[in-house]
């Protein structure tokens, strides 16, 4: 007979979308809440197989298990009979809580604090909606659901950043011997003085073909760290290595002129952070890798999740308005043009030829930006403060 579960302080629900983005954010949130002493956390996930690719300690065959002090529960239509809602229930990214669970929430006295954790956005309207309550009728009861928007300004929910992360990053980046050992663990020599090392984790984009072609023909040696995924075909085609696509596998080291491509397996989140910290430039996508690239304090390009009506381009510009505000005008315009080219699938090679001119400003700015983002506190700090008057 299994032991009864303890009462939980947090229930977090996540529907896995696009494999890693939503679960990447919620897994980081769950671990930070637990590690920083904010109570017991239960994480409900509807796709354990995808989750296991970024959480090696997870067994997808087990519907319920403890991983790193967090209770992981497979989320499907039928709820466990003994599932009592926690004090705080987080509906990540409008994933829609199961109706039976909401009914159990309404039976609690007092009822849980219900949070809809929204997608990260730099749009101006989120400041007005952040923290607002939406009354939900459940039988004869009324429950308030609060909207919590991650964002880039003091009037939003901030960004996820674990306590001590920036100090850990700084120590990693300053440890030359440690970096050389880490590169060696990937089968790479120490980074040369004139070399550019780049990580790339994006969606498909024709822009990648021109960029990779430019790197292969450049006078600057470039090493591209490429986790296996959606960008593989565009990258290898641009490098003139299309014949290698059918047999490409993690560990392969491919050469195309001045470009060396190292294919990497999927890694856990700590491993991905170290990859971002170690590279000179990071191309990232979605939300989770986008935020982690900002904490890396290194130049990055964001491949935002594409939408059919191209609404994502306006969202990209809203972010760039914040990010580029303190850069010199010519560097800011160049970076905006490069970001648009990547997201529109346009040629990037000629734009990238101007990298040496703007790189020093960008490198300095990237580090200052990461410090600015934490001035008003990280997401968990703001979330706990928001809940203090509501629990």
- Kindly report which listed range (185-189, 204-208, 358-362, 386-390) carries the lowest average pLDDT score: 386-390
- Asked if residue 268 has a cis previous peptide bond (ω within 30° of 0), the answer is no
Name the token pair of 276: 């971002």
For residues 24 and 280, give the distance between their C-alpha atoms in angstroms, rounded to a whole number.
Answer: 23
The single-letter DSSP state of residue 119 is: P
pLDDT interval class at 1 (50, 70, 90): very low
Question: Is the pLDDT score of 2 beyond 60?
Answer: no
pLDDT digits (tens, 9 = 90+) for 197-247: 999 999 999 999 999 999 999 999 999 999 998 999 999 999 999 999 999
For residues 369 and 209, give the distance between their C-alpha atoms in angstroms, rounded to a whole number.
Answer: 29
336 or 268, which is more confident: 336
pLDDT interval class at 307 (50, 70, 90): confident
pLDDT interval class at 286 (50, 70, 90): confident
State the Cα angle at 59 between 58 and 61, rounded to 5°. Answer: 150
- Please give the positions annotated as active site: 22, 287
| Half-sphere exposure of residue 350: CA atoms within 13 angstroms, side-chain side | 4
- Kindly report which listed range (32-41, 136-145, 252-261, 291-300) carries the lowest average pLDDT score: 136-145
Identify which of 323, 268, 296, 120 has the alpha carbon closest to the alpha carbon of residue 199. 296
């Amino acid at each position: 007979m299994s032991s009864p579960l303890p009462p939980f302080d947090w229930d977090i629900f996540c529907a896995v979308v696009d494999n890693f983005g939503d679960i990447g954010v919620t897994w980081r949130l769950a671990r930070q809440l637990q590690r920083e002493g904010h109570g017991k956390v239960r994480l409900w996930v509807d796709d354990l197989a995808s989750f296991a690719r970024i959480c090696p300690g997870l067994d997808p065959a087990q519907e319920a298990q403890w991983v790193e002090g967090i209770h992981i529960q497979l989320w499907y239509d039928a709820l466990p009979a003994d599932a009592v809602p926690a004090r705080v229930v987080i509906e990540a990214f409008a994933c829609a809580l199961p109706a039976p669970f909401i009914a159990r929430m309404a039976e609690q006295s007092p009822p849980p604090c219900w949070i809809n954790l929204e997608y990260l956005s730099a749009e101006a309207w989120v400041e007005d909606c952040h923290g607002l309550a939406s009354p939900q009728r459940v039988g004869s009861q009324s429950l308030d659901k609060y909207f919590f928007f991650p964002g880039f300004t003091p009037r939003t929910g901030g960004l996820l950043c674990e306590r001590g992360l920036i100090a850990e990053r700084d120590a990693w980046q300053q440890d030359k011997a440690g970096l050389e050992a880490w590169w060696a663990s990937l089968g790479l020599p120490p980074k040369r003085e004139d070399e550019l090392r780049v990580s790339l984790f994006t969606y498909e984009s024709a822009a990648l073909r021109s960029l990779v072609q430019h790197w292969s023909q450049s006078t600057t040696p470039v090493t591209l760290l490429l986790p296996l995924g959606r960008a593989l075909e565009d990258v290898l085609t641009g490098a003139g290595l299309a014949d290698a696509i059918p047999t490409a596998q993690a560990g392969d080291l491919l050469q195309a002129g001045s470009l060396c491509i190292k294919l990497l397996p999927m890694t856990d989140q700590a491993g991905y952070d170290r990859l971002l910290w170690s590279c000179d430039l990071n191309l990232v996508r979605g939300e989770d890798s986008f935020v982690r690239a900002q904490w890396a304090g290194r130049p990055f390009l964001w491949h935002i999740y594409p939408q059919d009506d191209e609404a994502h381009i306006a969202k990209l510009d809203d972010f760039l308005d914040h990010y580029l505000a303190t850069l010199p005008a010519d560097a800011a315009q160049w970076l905006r043009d490069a970001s648009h080219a990547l997201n529109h699938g346009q040629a990037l090679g000629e734009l990238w030829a101007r990298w040496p001119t703007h790189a020093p400003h960008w490198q300095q700015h990237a580090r200052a930006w990461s410090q600015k983002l934490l001035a008003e506190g990280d997401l968990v700090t703001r979330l706990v403060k928001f809940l203090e008057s509501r629990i």
